[in-house]
Amino acid sequence: MKAVIPAAGFGTRFLPATKAQPKEMLPVYDKPTIQYVIEEAVASGIDDILIVTGRNKRSIEDHFDKSFELEQTLQSAGKDDRLRQVRAITDLADICYVRQKEQKGLGDAIYCAKKHIGGEAFAVLLGDSITKGPTPCTKQLIDVYEKYGASAISLEEVPRDKVERYGIIKGTEVEKDVYKIDKLVEKPLAHQAPSNLAIMGRYVLTGDIFDKIDETEPGVGGEIQLTDALSKLDAIYGNTFEGKTYDIGNRFEWLKTSIEFALDDDESKDALIDYMKSMINKCE
């Protein structure tokens, strides 16, 4: 299976950090966000990845490209660990790029992948969210797709006052954590939301989604919404992901994620706890 990673947005919620830098390249602890996303795709068995980029996105291509000068310098300095790390990034997967010419919405960004994908089912991983769980989120969706033979999307319960930020679904639970979806609404007002189950940025889509996007009129924000195209599919399932999704497009979530990931690293854990304790004392 191939994967598509849309990464063409302006990252306006993260200005000024994203004025000249893609939000997908913002580091979370010690790696750019999009590297975690690609590692999730690879851990799910995918090695052919198409990134949909826009203007100001050259650094994404550079990050996954071979860096001869850097490798040479590390080699001459005998920094073998660093060299291995840098080479591993280049070897992660086959990565191709296509540009979304105009920012016409997530549906339109996915449509840019039509030629590369052909008619097969494919995964979509939004470039500004990271997931962590016992089984990679995308792998869980591939399993649902294979079992039900239909598109599958990842879901998570969100507080009622946050539903306006997400695509929200209404569905019937057909087995533990799996829903057959009847209705999808992009960014509904809180009192109009059909539930508090939100679409969390991971999808496995059947090839007919491209025809559905083609038939989709601009929706919320005047954009071609992927959620509206998903509503037109004959069948779609949702999976409440066993794990956690981190939305990096939001600065407070980004900061919390960096701290959480640093606490997972034995090298920085104790020093960070001491630092946080000292900061709490100072604030009290």
The CB-nearest residue to ligand G1P is 167
Question: Alpha-carbon distance 29 to 32, whole Å?
Answer: 8
- Residue 2 or 202: the one with the smaller Cβ distance to ligand G1P is 202
- Residue 195 or 227: the one with the smaller Cβ distance to ligand G1P is 227
CB of 13 to ligand G1P, least distance (A): 9
Q: Which residues contact 48 (CB under 8 A, 6 or more apart)?
A: 2, 3, 93, 94, 96
Percent composition of the chain: helix, strand, coil (DSSP 3-state, to 5): 45, 25, 30
- Residue 74 or 228: the one with the smaller Cβ distance to ligand G1P is 228
CB of 10 to ligand G1P, least distance (A): 11
Evaluate whether 227 touches 199 at the Cβ level (below 8 Å): yes
**Contacting residues toward ligand G1P, per CB under 6 A:** 106, 126, 129, 166-167, 186, 198-201, 225-227, 247
- Residue 178 or 186: the one with the smaller Cβ distance to ligand G1P is 186
Residue 38's alpha-carbon distances to 4, 31, 152, in angstroms, are 10, 11, 19
CB of 156 to ligand G1P, least distance (A): 9
CB of 198 to ligand G1P, least distance (A): 5
CB of 9 to ligand G1P, least distance (A): 7
Cβ neighbourhood burial of 100 (10 Å; 0-12, 13-18, 19+): buried
- Residue 40 or 247: the one with the smaller Cβ distance to ligand G1P is 247
